């Protein structure tokens, strides 16, 4: 999450969208810098979790929105950035955001298919900047020592819109 937020290059006063917001962690962290964060998700359980976490964090500048991103995003107006943690219509969402965002679009992916779709779409739109692969391992005890067990890698795809 820290790398994705860094790559968004958020500034005071920014307005961003968090598409596929899940529990709202990215939205809450971004709200510390941004003027407004739209946390969007289509899943009921995500909306419940995000709403609870946003309220608990007193992140009053986060607006949790239930709906399909391709239908919600056009009504938000101009954005300074967007984070995509999940989307049913990834290519279409990236296309919509490429016209709305003046800044960066950051997509997190764990599936190679999602990585390919995001990169291909951004390349077609002329906004592709880079991909970063992040691999982390967590220690666990074994005998009188410990080993590291890898956690699934995350691909961070960055696009820059003018």
Once rounded to an integer, what is the mean pLDDT over residues 137-145? 94
Report the phi/psi class of residue 100: left, alpha or beta, with left for phi > 0 and alpha for psi in -120 to 50.
alpha
Domain that holds residue 79: 2-160
**9 exposure class (CB count in 10 Å sphere: 0-12, 13-18, 19+):** middle
Q: What is the pLDDT of residue 22?
A: 95
At 60 the three-state DSSP class reads coil
Question: Closest Cα to residue 98, out of 90, 86, 87, 109?
Answer: 90
Query: What's the structural domain count of the chain?
Result: 1
Cα–Cα distance measured from residue 159 to residue 8, given in angstroms and rounded to the nearest whole number: 9
Calculate ∠ Cα 108-111-112, nearest 5°: 105
153 Cβ contact list (under 8 Å, min separation 6): 110, 133, 134, 135
At 18 the three-state DSSP class reads strand
Q: Which residue would you say has higher pLDDT here, 88 or 62?
A: 62
Q: Judge whether residue 87 has pLDDT over 90.
A: no
Cα–Cα distance measured from residue 86 to residue 88, given in angstroms and rounded to the nearest whole number: 7
Mean pLDDT across the chain, nearest whole number? 96
Question: Closest Cα to residue 15, out of 92, 108, 77?
Answer: 77
| pLDDT band at residue 162 under the 50/70/90 scheme | confident
Q: What is the pLDDT of residue 118?
A: 98
CATH number at residue 8: 3.40.50.150
Q: Judge whether residue 105 has pLDDT over 90.
A: yes
């Amino acid at each position: 999450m820290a790398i994705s937020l860094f790559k968004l290059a958020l500034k005071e006063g920014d307005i961003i969208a968090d598409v596929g917001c899940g529990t709202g962690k990215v939205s809450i962290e971004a709200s510390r810098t941004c003027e407004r964060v739209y946390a969007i998700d289509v899943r009921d359980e995500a909306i419940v979790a995000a709403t609870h976490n946003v309220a608990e964090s007193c992140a009053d500048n986060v607006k949790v929105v239930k709906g399909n991103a391709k239908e919600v995003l056009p009504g938000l107006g101009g954005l300074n950035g967007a984070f995509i943690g999940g989307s049913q219509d990834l290519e279409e969402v990236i296309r919509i955001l490429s016209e709305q965002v003046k800044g960066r679009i950051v997509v997190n992916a764990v599936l190679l298919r999602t990585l390919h779709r995001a990169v291909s779409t951004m390349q077609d739109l002329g906004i592709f900047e880079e991909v970063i692969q992040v691999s982390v391992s967590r220690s666990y005890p074994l005998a009188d020592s410990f080993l590291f067990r890898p956690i699934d890698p995350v691909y961070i795809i960055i696009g820059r819109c003018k």
